[in-house]
Structures are given as C-alpha cells and as structure tokens.
Amino acid sequence: MADQQHYDAIVIGAGISGLYQLHRLRQLGMTVRVLEAGTGVGGTWYWNRYPGARFDSESYSYSYSFSEELLQEWDWSEHFAAQPETLRYLNYVADKFDLRRDIQFRSRVSAAHFQDTTNTWDVTLEDGSRFSSRFLITAIGPLSAPTLPTIPGVDSFLGASFHTARWPHEPVSFEGKRVAVIGTGATGVQTIQEVAKTAGTLTVFQRTPNWCAPLMNAKIDAAEMAKIRAGYPELFKRCQETFACFIHTVDPRGTFEVSDEEREATYERLYASPGFGIWQGNFRDMLTDRKANALISDFVARKIRQRVKNQAVAEKLIPKNHGFGTRRVPMETKYYEVYNQDNITLVDILETPIERITPTGIKTSKTEYEFDIIIFATGFDAITGSFDRIDIRGTGGQRLKDRWKSGPETYLGVLVEGFPNMMMLMGPHTALGNIPRSIEYNVDWVTGLVGYAKDHGLTRLEATEAGVASWTDHVKSLGVGLLSNEVNSWMTGINSNVEGKQTRIIARYSGSAPAYRARCDDVAANGYQEMALS
C-alpha cells in the first residue's frame, strides 16, 4: 500500500531491550523502525516515575555491558540508583548511539498481522498509521500493562489519583495532604516509604502483606566508582555464572546442613547486606524445602516484630499465606518504621474490605475515609498482558491471545509456531532475573538469528510445533517443586483485576540462566535445525 512504510524490522518498544535491539540490527545494515508509545525512551524507567522508584539490583550490575566506552563514561551515584538517574542513563545511551532517529514516539501499536503471501508483518498504530516489515520484534516488557483495581466507583474519585506506572511528569506534592495507597508489592513499598516522609496523613490499604528486606542503599563516591569500573569485567563474568544473573550467588549449603547458630548468623549477615542477597544468595533449598522456607520466614517475621512497635500492626504486616521469597521480595528502606509514625494507618482489607471508592475517598466495610490523593500501586497484567493488549495475529489469522488462552507456549521464550518472523524479547518462558543481563543475551541471540536469515537469503523463520511443545514441557518441568509456583502472584500469572487471569500458570522459565543460554547457544550452533526456515 502506498501509505505503508516498509522496514526490514519493526521493534515495538524503546526500553532497555528495544534500544539495544535497534543498535544491534543496525550493525547488520538493516532498516529498523522502533515504535514507542511514550514520548521518550526508557520503557519501565520512563513510565514508573512514582515517588521512591529505584533499582533493587546494584546499579552497576544493571548497566549495559556491550560497550566498553559506555562503561568507562557513565558514573552511578548510588549503589541502587533512583528512577531519574536510570532514565538519564537510558537517554544518554540513546544519544551516544544516535538511536533516536529510528525511534518514533507517541506511537502505540494496536495490531500486528502476519501476511502469509509476502512473509511480512503489517503493523498498525492506534492513530491508524501503518507499517510493514519482514521481522517483528516485541520489546514490550513483562511488566508494562498496568491494572487498576476493579473496585466499584474507581472512576468516581474527585481528588487526584494515579497509578504508579502512569505517574505524571510534573512533581506531585504530598505536603499536608491526606494520601491513600492501595497495594503493597515492590512498588507500593517504595511509594509508601517515600510518601510517608511528607504526607499529612497516609493510609495504606493492604490486601496481602509481602516479606520485605532491607535494601541498604549507599552513595558511590568517585574513588568507589573507579574501583567498580576497574572491576567490570569480573562483575559481568560473575553475572553470567549466577543462577539469575544477579551478583549474588546461591549458598551451596542446605539449610539443615549447618548448626542453628551458623544458620542464624547467615540470616543475620544476609539481612544486613545490601540488595537481593537474602533472596538470591540464601541457602540452596530455601525455595524448595518447606521446612527450610519456614525457618527463614520465621527469621524475617521476628525482624518485623522488632521493628514495628505496635504488635497488632506488626502481625498484620507478616505474611501468613506464603513463605519468604516465594513472591518477589520488595526491598525497603525503613518501610516497617513508617508504621511507627502517628500519621500512618494500616488498613487490612481482608478484615475490612473496600466496598467502594467514593467521590471523596474510600469506603470500607467499617469506615468511610476522606482523601486528597489516591495512589494505585496495584501492579500489572504481567508477562502476557502486554501481548494481550495488541491484536497479534499469525498464519491463518490466528490470534496470539487465543493461542495462549491456557498459558503461554513458546520456543525458547522467543518464538511461537504459527507466528513466523516474530521474535519476543523478555517474553514468557525466557530467563528474566537481572533484566539487562538477560536482555543482552536475548537480543544477541535474536540478532544472530536475523543475521543468519540475511546471510542465507531466508524470508521465513518459524518455530515448529514439536519445538514449542518440547520447550513448554521443559519449562513446566523446571517449575515442579518450586514453592513460588504454589503462590498467587504476578509471577504465576495471577491478576485479580483481569478477567481470565485467576488461574495460576507457569509464566516464567525457572531454570538457571547459564542453562538457558547453553540451550539457546546449541540451537544457534546447529544452524537452527530445530526451526522451520525457508
């Protein structure tokens, strides 16, 4: 069609994966268009501007590693950088590699349909503009489709209200204001501890408490940054060796292989250490052995009781329906101490459910609260949600959403049979972990595949039915025995606010990142023989 622009590849999304994918495809000499819904680059770090948003992974382990020059140029100011700094970093990357000229902002993709006759994708934006491309690469993120609670009256509130992932670009003042936060996941915890510093009153509506652990953030001065920089090769090597690409390595010992004193000392050391160590560097059986999990849960419960003065409030903050680490552990800085402030109220909405949101506030079964601001930290339609929001259709017009009705099925977490020439970055059933590390691998692998097609004059790359069946079975078998798969969370595909997302699924690859890479490397080394290429 005359009004349709054609590219070798279309990448949806200009976050960490989309930016790097653009850079890599350019090196193959391809024409690429990145279509991005926002007005700037950054993805997660563009959208999530809520107060207190910051890394829970060490800043330097989160950097791109592909450019030595970039590593030499960029200084991190904190061990766990706040969102504005990360967004500055990603803008710096976009400028340094001159990426913007191939990115089209304010461009939300509404549909992508495969054309059997030409082996191309037709891509349509919400405003009706149309594109076509040989390859379609989704860089849409596993946590990018925010969901509001399905509480009656949610649209009726007349004060200011925000979902954390749709935070305004202008500053929001809480000074003297009556603020409500709904949701106590990783986002809610970061928001609450920040808002509590200035709000007149803060009321937290908690449904499920989470096991949180101290972040132990600290500034990085010039001397320390120089040391970190000198250690980059070692650091990235280490991230390639660990289970989930974090700098923390699983303790090879079993919980019951050490004495009670040694175990307690290990827990204390991890609790006092920065970052995810207590989650990612704990005893090897913490997430598979119920008794081991009960011990660490009991340890963290004791910490909560010590830190929260009012013991009735402390009990409400201690999770009762899941063990430590079986959901994503929110990292905190004086989160529990917030509940010692006189102007903070914790409302357990399992005890007193929210009946409705009113024009002036929130009404529970017991009390009618008035607020100036309501913050929805209610999370995302995770992993498959961002795919569901685009009308993606493969061969014969089949919809991806229908294909995945009972849960995602993929080949290596990257391809789906019936959807030729579509490659997913950070899609379902791929290794997530420390995201940029996983992204760099994912992008390099996809670039290898696309480069192979280019070199061999191939126009159609497709996973086979057998390949998808065997990868899906493999991913499911890896999930057996993991306590986290017995718990409702975004990691098991649950979102109480989305129809059809009430049954737990295996949404993530839960094997080790090195095993994942070994498998993908093999496929490439064997000339992608497991795939249908033509």
Name which of 433 and 467 has its Cβ closer to ligand NA7.
433
Query: Is 184 a residue that touches ligand NA7 (CB under 6 A)?
Result: yes
Name which of 306 and 365 has its Cβ closer to ligand NA7.
365
Name which of 227 and 320 has its Cβ closer to ligand NA7.
320
The single residue among 273, 333, 364, 497 that binds ligand NA7, judged by CB under 6 A, is 497
Q: Which helix (H) or strand (E) holds 222?
A: helix 222-230
Q: Rounded to whole angstroms, what are the CA distances from 321 to 343, 412, 502?
A: 28, 32, 17
Per DSSP bridges, beta strands 361-364 and 354-357 are: antiparallel
Name which of 121 and 335 has its Cβ closer to ligand NA7.
335
The single residue among 379, 385, 408, 427 that binds ligand NA7, judged by CB under 6 A, is 379
Query: Is 438 a residue that touches ligand NA7 (CB under 6 A)?
Result: no
Question: Distance between CA atoms of 157 and 333, rounded to whole angstroms?
Answer: 31
Work out how close the CB of 117 gets to ligand NA7 at its nearest, in angstroms, rounded to a whole number: 41
Phi, psi of 493 (to 5 degrees): 80, 15
Query: Is 188 a residue that touches ligand NA7 (CB under 6 A)?
Result: yes
Query: Is 377 a residue that touches ligand NA7 (CB under 6 A)?
Result: yes
Question: Distance between CA atoms of 294 and 255, rounded to whole angstroms?
Answer: 11
Work out how close the CB of 305 gets to ligand NA7 at its nearest, in angstroms, rounded to a whole number: 21
Query: Is 5 a residue that touches ligand NA7 (CB under 6 A)?
Result: no
Work out how close the CB of 183 gets to ligand NA7 at its nearest, in angstroms, rounded to a whole number: 3
Residue 114 bridge partners (DSSP): 121
Q: Which two tokens stand for residue 465?
A: 């039915």
SS3 sequence of 484-503: HHHCCCHHHCCCCCCCCCCC
Number of residues that bind ligand NA7 (CB under 6 A): 22
Local structure of 224: helix, strand or coil: helix
Query: Is 198 a residue that touches ligand NA7 (CB under 6 A)?
Result: no
Q: In sequence order, what are the residues at sequence separation of 6 or more whose Cβ sits closer than 8 angstroms to the Cβ of residue 94?
A: 14, 19, 41, 100, 103
Query: Is 490 a residue that touches ligand NA7 (CB under 6 A)?
Result: yes
The single residue among 185, 319, 407, 420 that binds ligand NA7, judged by CB under 6 A, is 185
Work out how close the CB of 212 gets to ligand NA7 at its nearest, in angstroms, rounded to a whole number: 11
Q: Which helix (H) or strand (E) holds 307?
A: helix 290-307
Q: Which of residues 322-351 bind ligand NA7 (CB under 6 A)?
A: 328, 349
Query: Is 386 a residue that touches ligand NA7 (CB under 6 A)?
Result: no
Angle between the N-to-C axes of helices 290-307 and 260-271, in degrees from 0 to 180, rounded to the nearest 10: 60
Name which of 277 and 394 has its Cβ closer to ligand NA7.
277
Scanning 30-38, 146-154, 257-265, 502-510 for contacts with ligand NA7 by CB under 6 A, the matching segment is: 146-154
Local structure of 442: helix, strand or coil: helix
The single residue among 99, 186, 453, 523 that binds ligand NA7, judged by CB under 6 A, is 186
Query: Is 496 a residue that touches ligand NA7 (CB under 6 A)?
Result: yes
Closest CA to 529 of 459, 464, 457, 441: 464
Question: Distance between CA atoms of 49 and 170, rounded to whole angstroms?
Answer: 10
Scanning 78-86, 171-179, 182-190, 296-304 for contacts with ligand NA7 by CB under 6 A, the matching segment is: 182-190
Indicate if the alpha-carbon torsion angle 456, 457, 461, 465 is positive or negative.
negative
Name which of 149 and 493 has its Cβ closer to ligand NA7.
149
Scanning 4-12, 27-35, 95-103, 489-497 for contacts with ligand NA7 by CB under 6 A, the matching segment is: 489-497
Question: Distance between CA atoms of 36 and 125, rounded to whole angstroms?
Answer: 10
Q: In sequence order, what are the residues at sequence separation of 6 or more whose Cβ sits closer than 8 angstroms to the Cβ of residue 108?
A: 35, 37, 125, 126
Q: Is the separation of the CB atoms in 329 and 276 below 8 Å?
A: yes
Phi, psi of 330 (to 5 degrees): -70, 135
Give the position of tokens 């280019």: 454
Query: Is 275 a residue that touches ligand NA7 (CB under 6 A)?
Result: no
At 528, which amino acid appears? Y
Closest CA to 301 of 210, 226, 368: 210
Query: Is 161 a residue that touches ligand NA7 (CB under 6 A)?
Result: no
Query: End-to-end alpha-carbon separation of the chain, Å?
Result: 25
The single residue among 109, 151, 199, 449 that binds ligand NA7, judged by CB under 6 A, is 151
Work out how close the CB of 498 gets to ligand NA7 at its nearest, in angstroms, rounded to a whole number: 10
SS3 sequence of 344-385: EEEEECCCCCEEEECCCEEEECCCEEECCEEEECCCECCCCH
Work out how close the CB of 386 gets to ligand NA7 at its nearest, in angstroms, rounded to a whole number: 13
Work out how close the CB of 92 gets to ligand NA7 at its nearest, in angstroms, rounded to a whole number: 23
Work out how close the CB of 81 gets to ligand NA7 at its nearest, in angstroms, rounded to a whole number: 15
Query: Is 208 a residue that touches ligand NA7 (CB under 6 A)?
Result: yes
Q: Which of residues 289-318 bind ligand NA7 (CB under 6 A)?
A: none
Query: Is 149 a residue that touches ligand NA7 (CB under 6 A)?
Result: yes
Residues forming the site for ligand NA7 (CB under 6 A): 143, 149-151, 182-188, 207-208, 328, 349, 377-380, 490, 496-497
